[in-house]
Amino acid sequence: MRYLLVLLLAGCTATQWSKQGATAADEDRDFEECRQIARPDPAIAAIFGVFGAVGVFFGVNHTDSKIRSCMEGKGWLKPSQDAASKTGT
């Protein structure tokens, strides 16, 4: 079960973030900080795990949402947001 969670998280972390003037090392550092902040409490992770695949899905979705919020709070944009900001939409 733990390996399934790792695989799901690996799929979620493939997003390339962009930030004006930032390097890949900056992105890696900020992403790692956000990942640590978003790490679920072991008790909560166990509760999600009790509900099988559906629980894992919601747990991963919740963690991904927290990472996304953290990265956006640090000024990072996902490619779709970056393109929209350049076109003014």
Question: Where do the structural domains in the chain lie, given as residue ranges?
Answer: 27-77
User: What DSSP element (H or E) covers 46?
Assistant: helix 42-50
Whether residue 1 has pLDDT greater than 60: no
pLDDT of residue 41: 72
Across the chain, mean pLDDT equals 75
Say how many residues make up the chain.
89
Whether residue 77 has pLDDT greater than 80: yes
pLDDT tens-digit map of 22-46: 999 999 999 999 999 988 777 766 6
pLDDT of residue 10: 52
Q: Under a CB-based contact definition with an 8 Å cutoff, are residues 37 and 70 in contact?
A: yes
SS3 state of residue 77 = strand
- The model carries a pTM of 0.60
